[in-house]
Amino acid sequence: MKKNGKTGPLRSVTPAIDIYIRLAQYPILSNKIRNRMRQEMFRRGIISPAKFEQEVKELAVKSRVREGLGDPSGLEDESTWEKRKSRVRDVHTDALFASNLGSSLLEQLILETLQKQPSPQPPAELTFNPEISPWDMLFEQGKIYEAMPVHEREKHQHHLEEIKVVLIRRMISDQLPFIGLARRFLTIQDMQFIHRRLIGTGKIGGKAAGMLLAWKMLQQKDPEFGPDISASVDLLDSYFIGSEVIYEFILNNKLEDFVNQKYRSVPEMREMYPKIIDGFLQGRFPDTFIEQLQENLARMGENPLIVRSSSLLEDNFNYPFSGRYVSYFCPNQGSDEDNLHDVLVGIRRVFASIFNPDAMIDRREHGLIDYDERMAVLLQRVDGERHGRYFFPTISGMAYSQNFDCWDSQIRQEDGLLRLVWGLNSCITGAGRQTCSRWIPLSHPQQRREKTAAAIRQSAQQTIDLVDLDANQLMSLPVQDVLQQIHTQLSYLPYIASLDAGDHLEPVPASPSQTVSGPFLLTFDYLTQDRKFIKLIRTALMRLEQSYQTPVEIEFAVETLPGVPTPNYKLYILQCRPQRPH
């Protein structure tokens, strides 16, 4: 049995009794709620389904002995035995859930179960003003319209569009180009998903908005949008801190004097910025915000997390104001209190970065200094796997739908460009770290600038960004050091590396062993030859550019999955924005 992922005894039966009494208020729905409770425990790795059922059987046998029936199954008919296990299963569910997850999450599961219950249908005609109506009314009416048969929905499409626009403006963006796209692709259910994961109030910001819209575009199955790649594209578990939270934080902590930094001279901005960071790091959040954040952190499990800026200007259609604010990795390997503290520090640092002098200078140069910039925050689970003490994604990178760097006359600009790294893509996006990725023109994936082994060796990725789980911190380590420690654990090593034979490179054997010890170079040569991989990236870029009606660039992570004869791939969209020349 686990508590926060660690083995330990139950502390008390009282919480389990509390859950039993709470569920007794739902005599019909309690089965559905307990099923959700079990699924949540299975999903978090608290216990496996097989182990759970084995414990239920053992407890049922003990209960039969207590009731004087003995152990042999022949003393109890099958119907009674199944009824016994069913009742034991309920009690065991309550006990495990109480010990590991608690009442706050139970209330959320009860609420979600109740929301799925059928309710009286409001009239199809719109009888209220969406602009001033509460969330629930907008969601319910919008779902009614979307559930209608196509021929009937056409008569009410204008009402559905109005509701969508109101929800998008309230929760996502007030940029007209974005609204026009979002109402085409996002459903009421999509926006209800966002609302359920919104912490605080306000909009989710440009980075989160671009990520969600891109994912939705790539989920379309209509041939109009090109080949269906929906099964190969996914979102990472994410929560959104609304853009109004920073206002409350500034007001409560008396930080208003910093708000007009953008109008100071550049030397004054730079002089004040360290003081601003210190002021934000000392700030306190309201208890209600802390409680809501804690509940959502409990749902995200034990993977490392990243606290990402998502300002209203980021991924702007007219000027994609990206890469100006900080992201903060949280290893998430300490106690619940330590992990919460780490995330709060990350949020404070992201908030403070809105006053980064370089960001404000950039805004001034592009006529954006008077814009009421607000900082939302994207809280996201980091994709990846654990290898010993290290955690990182298999592959990450950036891709561009237009290749503005065609170094050979054969390369076609319109087919796009791909940049790959091993580990976290901060190796690409970090300041001053722009040369360590493999550049792949998607029209000719095997074409590269470097023509000799020596040139390839010099341009290969030298460091990997990863989370050291033992040290509980983000680190940048030499690639060769990490490979020497864990290369035998990497089933995907042949996909990303080549053997350095001095004057030439050789493929890594399909099953690397202790006898193959390198040295290795990160070339990603296998992926450049895998049509499945190249087609996935090229199709994603083509569909996004077609939908946006402008060139786009994306940040992503890729997971390799077993496949025959070549691996399968899962593409996670981390960010999408209009493309800037690189």
Residue appearing with tokens 């319910």? 140
Name the strands in the sheet holding 390-392, side by side, starting at the edge strand that comes first in the sequence. 385-387, 390-392, 463-468, 473-478
Give Cβ neighbours of residue 467 (< 8 Å, ≥ 6 apart): 304, 329, 331, 382, 384, 390, 391, 392, 424, 473, 474, 475
In angstroms, the CA 546 to CA 443 distance is 18
Q: Which amino acid is residue 479, in one-letter code?
A: V
The chain-wide mean pLDDT, for the chain, equals 87
Is the pLDDT higher at 367 or at 547? Answer: 547
Of 66-70, 108-112, 234-238, give the range with the top mean pLDDT: 234-238
> Cβ distance 474 to 504 under 8 Å?
no
What is the pLDDT confidence band of residue 122, given thresholds at 50, 70 and 90?
low
Q: What is the DSSP string of 92-124?
A: HHHHHHHHHT-HHHHHHHHHHHHHTS--PPPPS
Question: Which of residues 55 and 313 earns the better pLDDT score?
Answer: 55
Q: Do 199 and 242 form a contact (C-beta atoms < 8 A)? A: yes
> Which tens digit of pLDDT belongs to each residue from 318-331?
666 666 788 889 99
- DSSP-assigned letters across all residues of 142-169: HHHHHHS-HHHHGGGHHHHHHHHHHHHH
Task: Taking residues 225-231, report their average pLDDT.
Answer: 88
* 199-234 b/e (C-beta count within 10 Å ≥ 16 → b): bbebbbbbbbbbbbbbbbbbbbeeeebbeebeebbb
Size of the chain in residues: 582
pLDDT band, residue 316 (cuts 50/70/90):
low
Q: What is the pTM for the complete model shown?
A: 0.75
Q: What is the pLDDT of residue 318?
A: 66
pLDDT at residue 464, as a whole number: 93
Q: Does position 192 have pLDDT exceeding 60, yes or no?
A: yes
Tokens encoding 511: 């099953």
- Residue the block writes with tokens 């300002």: 311
pLDDT at 225: 77
pLDDT value for 543: 94
Q: Which of 225-229, 425-429, 502-506 is least confident?
A: 425-429
pLDDT of residue 12: 42
CA-CA-CA-CA torsion sign (94, 95, 101, 102): positive
Are 541 and 398 within 8 A, CB to CB?
no
pLDDT above 60: residue 4: no
| Residue 5 confidence (pLDDT) above 70 | no
Q: Are 460 and 469 in contact (CB under 8 A)?
A: no
Position 26 confidence tier, pLDDT thresholds 50, 70, 90: confident
For 32-76, how does the pLDDT look when each residue is reduced to its tens digit (9 = 90+)? 999 989 998 888 888 988 899 999 999 988 888 888 776 544 467
Token pair in block for residue 24: 């007794």
Task: Calculate ∠ Cα 154-155-157, nearest 5°.
Answer: 60
pLDDT grade for 429, boundaries at 50, 70 and 90: low
pLDDT at 89: 92
Which residue segments constitute the domains of the chain, with CATH numbers given? 2-115 (no CATH), 210-381 (3.30.1490.20), 387-578 (no CATH)
| pLDDT more than 70, % of the chain | 91
Per-residue model confidence (pLDDT) at position 338: 93
Q: What pLDDT band is residue 132 in, cutting at 50, 70 and 90?
A: confident
Contact 439, 582 (CB under 8 A): no
